[in-house]
Amino acid sequence: MIQDFKGKTAVLTGAGSGFGLECARIGAKLGMNLVLVDVQQDALDKATAEIEATGVPVLSRRVDVSSKEQMESLAALVEQRFGAPHFVFNNAGVGSAGLVWENSVRDWEWVLGVNLWGVIHGVRLFTPMMLAAASKDPNWRGHIVNTASMAGLLTPPNMGIYNVSKHAVVSLTETLYQDLKLVSDQLSTSVLCPYFVPTGINQSHRNRPAEMADEKATQSQLIGQAMTDKAVGSGKVSAAEVAQLVFDAISADRFYIFSHPRALGNVRARMEGIVNQTNPADPFLERPEIGAGLRAALRRA
């Protein structure tokens, strides 16, 4: 468990908005050294100016987390400036909708690149650095937080790529937890599984790679985007509240972090279906009107 954050270093990807920015704001209040990372330069510049104004040490870099080379350069810069980070928030993520077979290869590569490979790079580059610091100091403590989603525990339709990416992050983080327990008592990890929270992820298309500009959205993608906009926009739990849950979990060494615990009933139903070997349940059982609307829209397309 970690109670003292002052003077500790945190790397935060996706720090220009949403959970990343809110975690940076909490980190600044706690007197931490903060490494702010985002792919969107204007959002990163605004976040950097805000956090620097608090007086804490800040390292800010525009990085595409899906890039092996850019992430390796970031890790080297962090080590040179602050040494091994005590905290890594692998938070950068993009949303995506559409029927599984309608998504292009570039759709798959983009979403998996950010949502999964971004986390992989964060884990593979910073974990060895953190373990090395722990081996030199018995009092050193560290924690890695990977942002997944409730879509990493459920399989909502018309969101295939996103579901796949977030299921992989949950699996990766659960395995990381077990692997770390084999080698150290000084470093741990958590997985964040938020539900619909207003973070800006529903506007992920603003950061789509330029080479995808010629791809026209399919009808299922447009329908999925509209549904996500509505769900995220009506979210009652704020990104700031979720960020506080993250720090509370770090302090308590709690692995699973949920923004909407009531949604776990759906997870339980899915797990029971797997154990009982029943076919996947209707995801719209509690809100049949939504399912009826989606089916009607897709069958008209």
CB 5 within 8 A of CB 30: yes
Q: How many CA atoms lie within 13 A of 283 on its CB side?
A: 13
Burial 28-59 (b: 16+ CB within 10 A, else e): bebebbbbbbbbbeebbeebbeebeeeebebb
Determine which one of 162, 177, 195, 256 is catalytic. Answer: 162
CB 34 within 8 A of CB 57: yes
Q: How many CA atoms lie within 13 A of 99 on its CB side?
A: 11
Distance CA 51, CA 199 (A): 18
Distance CA 68, CA 118 (A): 9
Tokens of 39: 């792919």
Q: How many residues does the chain have?
A: 301
Sign for the CA dihedral angle at 184, 185, 186, 190 comes to positive
Q: How many CA atoms lie within 13 A of 284 on its CB side?
A: 11
Tokens of 54: 């608090």
The answer to whether 162 is a known catalytic residue is: yes
User: 232 Cβ partners below 8 Å, 6+ apart?
Assistant: 196, 197, 198, 199, 201, 202
Query: Helices 160-183 and 118-136 meet at what angle, rounded to 10?
Result: 10
Distance (Å) of CA 231 to CA 104, 199, 200, 202, 296: 25, 12, 12, 9, 19
Catalytic residues: 162
